[in-house]
């Protein structure tokens, strides 16, 4: 999706449809989740899988508050998105996050080549079935993601990021 909520098309290869689809009431749902992630006691529970990103649009200068699923890898958070706001995250430029109720900075590393994105999405899909379903990644009986689905996610413009909270 672009910053205005439109799907990103032609990501890695033009002509591929975005895989992830927003819910009809996504804006309302995101507002509720943002509230939960700001509430001290509730943020500990909701923050086990969700982090809030405070992203500033490169062109518009507008601030976007985006709740997004993450997977913990050591000290890092692994996130992925097919939506346009991901273009505002750049390697070497920190981003403000709210993790388990605490606002802090995080260093960003953009994972951009096909192998990195496919590997990251495979790892996140295995760890989080909701993430897999949202991105239309089928899992086999052993929870292994379908390789064709992972490739299609990358072709549709998905991006992955490694955030290191400070």
pLDDT above 80 (res 47)? no
Structural domains in the chain plus CATH codes: 26-165 (2.30.110.10)
Helix locations, 51-146, DSSP H: 114-127, 129-134
Provide the whole-model pTM.
Answer: 0.75
Read off the tokens for 81: 């998105």
**Alpha carbon separation from 152 to 26, 76, 147, 157 (Å, rounded):** 23, 26, 9, 9
Read off the tokens for 77: 């958070």
pLDDT above 60 (res 111)? yes
pLDDT tens, residue by residue, 51-65: 999 999 989 999 999
Read off the tokens for 149: 């689905």
pLDDT tens, residue by residue, 94-106: 999 999 888 999 9
């Amino acid at each position: 999706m672009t910053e205005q909520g439109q799907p990103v098309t032609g990501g890695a290869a033009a002509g591929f449809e975005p895989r992830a689809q927003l819910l009809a009431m996504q804006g309302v749902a995101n507002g509720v989740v943002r509230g939960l992630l700001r509430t001290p006691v509730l943020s500990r529970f909701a923050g086990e899988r969700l982090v809030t990103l405070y992203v500033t649009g490169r062109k518009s200068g507008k601030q976007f508050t985006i709740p997004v699923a993450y997977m913990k890898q050591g000290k890092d958070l692994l996130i992925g998105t097919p939506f346009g706001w991901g273009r505002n995250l750049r390697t070497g430029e920190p981003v403000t996050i709210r993790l388990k109720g605490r606002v802090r900075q995080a260093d960003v590393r953009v994972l951009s080549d096909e192998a990195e994105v496919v590997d990251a999405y495979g790892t996140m899909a295995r760890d989080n079935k909701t993430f897999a379903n949202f991105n239309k990644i089928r899992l086999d009986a052993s929870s292994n993601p379908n390789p064709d689905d992972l490739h299609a996610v990358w072709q549709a413009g998905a991006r992955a990021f490694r955030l290191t909270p400070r």
